[in-house]
Chains A and B, each alone.
Chain A
């Protein structure tokens, strides 16, 4: 069974026919070739597939593509505006906040939404925010540093 959906991904409009059982993650990866969204567990725990749906972080593995019909989606590919790295991306590089990079897109998007609401977060708040995403390489410390530094860089 298929249905036609219209979604706006990273400010680009798409109209596609999709199987109703297709997840949003598979839709982004397979149909739109946006492979920056990664699948780590496909049961909503690891957070690697996190994207922004109308600005809110969601697990793309737990949503169906048809549920995103009519919505605005941001993936990691949409984070660097005009080719320039987002301050979070800059901070992640400066603070060695990634190793294998597999969880990184989900963390970047979660952190971007978080900083929009908490422009001056305490380290403990950053850790709470990160607790929804699993990273197996870094031990999180440099990710906390990077998010704190990005908050600093982004604050007016």
Chain B
């Protein structure tokens, strides 16, 4: 088996349909008799409501049915929750976990502005929206709990009156002896950092279509989701149907970034409406709904302290962390523990003490978003390290050289479990090489000279560094089925739905190499539960590792079946056979070659003879991935700050990264670029702002600023390939990485640029207004 395609920058096979406008997203699906749903959503952040008066709405033209909690009660099961601590973690850390119960449609109480109160189904979307406006609700507003640090205090009003406070997930954790290390330190650096609410904001909003077929009792639902098998399981529970009667299809999905990996009320409500009405129903989320009702992310506060020696060697970290979960806690330990597990990153630190409070507030529920705790924790750590460097007069590059783990120190055991309960051990990589590669590519040393000269001319440029080590490819598995047809053409089905990541190309590369067939013989289907029985989904930088390994394993098994059949046909020993370019031959005897089609067809019985082998050229694999594999990167950014306007202009951005073996370098570059662009948004522009009543003030794309082509600078990538020892392909996860370091690197560079003013950047986004305030306060000081 040669690696003919893996590692090559092949053009994406899925592109032509997108370019011709022939892709099919959920909103493009039309069915005979299709009805349209619209929702009445709570205008209050926290309020009880008594009864929904549906009379006027129900009588409006085109309205088919209005659904309230009372109409749907038998169908409404609590939405699925994730993130219970697995064995290995639960016995090491004592978590306080208070589960919240969320219904698809609220029973008499709304806990965030945007929560669904009623659903209207009509013969057009416009008429459904008209009728939703005509619903009348009697509201009784309750105090809104908005700011998480205040919300965590016992005296705060509570979302859930039977809880002692608003903390849904709390724990403390320690490794080593932080108290002793702080006692012995020459320098103690303490700082408070705030990371704002921001989120994936895919350009395609969410959407659901559902149709029930009375003939065979099957429900089919098309959903703009990253996790079709999760949606299937949720529906099986809600509807009491066996999973096999529920087909979930994620067709073309217009970006996900984690936003579409959560379980949502609409996932259940649209199928329920289709079942109740016996007609297909569609809901297409509009942008305003998306901003108030699709999951939010990121908001954290860190009160972090570093203990260090005079020479910059860091001895210990203490961190008090708050996370804002919004109104419901659907993800358990996932975000809080991710945050802790990635705090130490590439640094050689043996002493750690953390206290964590994940807090419920009357805001849109949050969910993992591209990085899922890592951008936040890396911001706190890498900002603190830069502050420490400034305090002791060390260059930010030098303090990292003194504290980054060396390649010879790997594998590095942090002495704590990972989120999956297995020991947290960095398996491979070279963080110092990544640092030096990124610094060299960015011209760090030369820049220091230029920076001085520019400052003399009143031009303020800065350079910033941030690095991370990321647990990627979380298991436990992904399903993949590989099947050949009569002509030897290959279909690959996996539960790893694509939302633009190029799975149809990458997994075709893996399968084509494993089988020995041309790339264009392979068709990859992701995101159809009817095509592969068991699956998990695409999130957490997991698909290359999990689905890639399963595709490889299943394709290898099919290859073995082909070789067995061909050996009979050619009367040769299986071990002497080779498959190349879709033909099987005896090694060293090219004249013996037969087409795969011939091998397959010879395996089918005819009237004249039995087949040469069992006609079984199909295999399914769920490759077991017990724990993550560790990707890493160092980002370096150069930028310019205008101290008169507060505007930050990014000049260059360098990423030196290790995602293990690269399957397709073009796709990898694209993933890095996209991640960095989102990180830039988080660093400088994007924020979901709430007022003190829990009202979202940034409810449109005019208020919530997604970076454009003018804000994203040229991005240079340096690929450092340290193959993962933890899977057969040697790959590591990649999707999230780009988004992790930009906030820290950019904030570090801004402080560097403004060194003459001595400003300290403690929160993002670093908007012109925030920056001017910082500069102004230093000018008057």
Contact = CB atoms under 8 A, between A and B. Distances in A.
Nearest to A78: B21
A137 interface: yes
Contacts of A41: 287, 700-701
Interface stretch (B66-74, B248-256, B350-358): B248-256
Contacts of A138: 670, 673-674, 677
B19 A108 contact: yes
6 closest residue pairs by CB, A with B: A36-B21, A100-B500, A101-B18, A102-B254, A139-B673, A76-B21
B184 interface: no
Interface in A61-76: 75-76
Contacts of B15: 92-93, 98, 101
Contacts of A94: 11
A103 B710 contact: no
Contacts of B708: 130-134, 140
Interface of A: 19, 21, 29, 33-43, 45-46, 48, 75-77, 79-80, 85, 89, 92-94, 96, 98-105, 108, 126-128, 130-144
Contact of A131 (B27, B673, B709): B709
A141 B714 contact: yes
B676 interface: yes
B203 A135 contact: yes
Contact of B18 (A77, A104, A131, A141): A104
Contacts of A136: 200-203, 255, 257, 674, 677-678, 706
A85 B16 CA distance: 8
Interface in B23-41: 23-25, 27-28, 30
Given A137-B255, A138-B674, A36 B702 contact: no
Interface string B164-208: 000000000000000000000000000000000000111111000
B394 interface: no
B700 A102 contact: no
B22 A36 contact: yes
Interface in B664-678: 666-667, 669-670, 673-678
Given A35-B25, A104-B18, 11 more contacts: A21-B126, A38-B203, A45-B700, A98-B19, A99-B255, A100-B255, A102-B254, A127-B710, A135-B203, A140-B712, A144-B709
A133 B126 CA distance: 26
Contact of A46 (B203, B666, B667): B203
A132 to B, nearest CB: 8
B715 interface: yes
A56 B25 CA distance: 26
A92 B19 contact: yes
Given A41-B701, A76-B21, A98-B15, A140 B252 contact: no
A118 B13 CA distance: 31
Contact of B706 (A99, A108, A134): A134
Contacts of A37: 21
Contact of A139 (B22, B667, B677): B677
Nearest to A108: B19
A21 B124 CA distance: 13
Nearest to B202: A136
5 contacts: A39-B284, A101-B17, A101-B19, A102-B500, A108-B19
Contacts of A48: 203
A45 B254 contact: no
Interface in B699-728: 700-702, 706, 708-710, 712, 714-715
B499 interface: yes
A93 B709 contact: no
A99 B701 contact: no
Contacts of A108: 19
Interface string B673-688: 1111110000000000
B500 A101 contact: yes
A73 to B, nearest CB: 13
B12 interface: yes
A100 B701 contact: no
B676 to A, nearest CB: 6
A43 B500 CA distance: 24
Contact of B20 (A89, A131, A132, A143): A89
B500 A142 contact: no
Contacts of B284: 39
B663 to A, nearest CB: 14
Contact of B500 (A45, A79, A99, A143): A99
A98 to B, nearest CB: 6
B502 interface: yes
Contacts of A135: 203, 709
Nearest to A94: B11
A35 B714 contact: no
A141 B715 contact: yes
B616 interface: no
Contacts of A100: 202-204, 252-255, 499-500
B579 to A, nearest CB: 29
A33 B28 CA distance: 8
B133 interface: no
Given A43-B700, A96-B669, A101 B23 contact: yes
A42 to B, nearest CB: 6
B140 interface: no
Contacts of A126: 709
Nearest to B667: A96
Contacts of A21: 126
A136 B370 CA distance: 12
Interface in B192-233: 200-205
A142 B715 CA distance: 10
A102 B204 contact: yes
Contacts of A99: 255, 500-502, 670, 674
Given A100-B254, A139-B676, A140-B677, A85 B502 contact: no
Contacts of B257: 136
Contacts of B702: 43, 45
B311 interface: no
B286 interface: yes
B701 A96 contact: no
Contacts of A33: 30
A102 B203 contact: yes
Nearest to B253: A100
A89 B203 contact: no
A99 B257 CA distance: 12
Contacts of B11: 93-94, 96
B706 A93 contact: no
A35 B670 CA distance: 26
Chain B CB count within 10 A is highest, among A42, A99, A103, A135, for A99
